[in-house]
Amino acid sequence: MKTPSELGLKIGYEFKDESLLAMAITHRSFSAVNNERIEFLGDSLLNMIIAEALYKRFPDMREGELSRVRALLVSGKTLAELATEFDLGAFLRLGAGEKNTGGHRRNSTLADAVEALIGGIYIESGFDVCRERVLAWFDSRLVTLNPDSSHKDAKTRLQEFLQARKLPLPDYQLINTEGADHQQTFVVSCAVPLLKSAVSARGSSRRKAEQAAAEKVLLALKDSE
């Protein structure tokens, strides 16, 4: 059985009020006291925090582009990716029917729970702590944003590069997982037809390792041109 302390290690924040954490990870199928209201609060906080971060990071970016990039960063898909990095599905409290139909893997359920956690952190510790945690969670995504590449991540850019040349898509393989459960490092290789050997990279999640490997491949392809 997963414990609150285990989740605290993954998200970098340990709730003092376990009832608040319980609410944040409770789906409406489990109880009438669930995370819907607190998720509403977290959604608004997330949008504000990411908007502020983008405003400061990209002083020359126009309003429409800022809105587009923010929408990408706070999308259900991105939040579900974060939830997967936290192994959040294993902590969710779901009703029997929802659990049996794979609710712990459903993107919308995972995304809502991330927003609920944000709302919970804000309620318990205030805006400054909440902002610090959100920015820590999104750090790798904010750092890799590149205005010159239309804010597409490395995997997307590599895929489009290969597709434009009618070449097979990259082959990502998990080579190794190192470290303790709560502090793992993933080693991933990326092979493409234009390079003689696969490129490997490390990351704190498989997704981050794949992104790092794709970035290295793009640099290698650029150098070979």
Do residues 22 and 33 touch, judged by C-beta distance below 8 A?
Answer: no
Given phi > 0 = left and psi -120 to 50 = alpha, else beta, which region is 126?
left
**Which two structure tokens, joined as six digits, stand for 132?**
């610090």
Residue whose tokens read 């290690």 = 9
Do residues 217 and 198 touch, judged by C-beta distance below 8 A?
Answer: no
Element of type H or E holding 174: strand 171-178
Beta bridge partners of 200: 189
- Please indicate whether residue 181 is annotated as part of the active site: no
Backbone angles phi, psi at 185, to 5 degrees: -120, 130
> 81, 115, 153, 215: which is the annotated catalytic residue?
115
132 carries a ligand binding annotation: no
3-state secondary structure of 190: strand
- Please indicate whether residue 210 is annotated as part of the active site: no
39 carries a ligand binding annotation: yes
**Which two structure tokens, joined as six digits, stand for 106?**
């459903």
> 43, 81, 98, 153: which is the annotated catalytic residue?
43
225 carries a ligand binding annotation: no
17: nearest Cα among 134, 117, 95, 129: 117
Instruction: Extract the annotated binding site for Mg(2+).
Output: 39, 112, 115
Instruction: Extract the annotated binding site.
Output: 39, 112, 115
Residues marked active site are found at: 43, 115
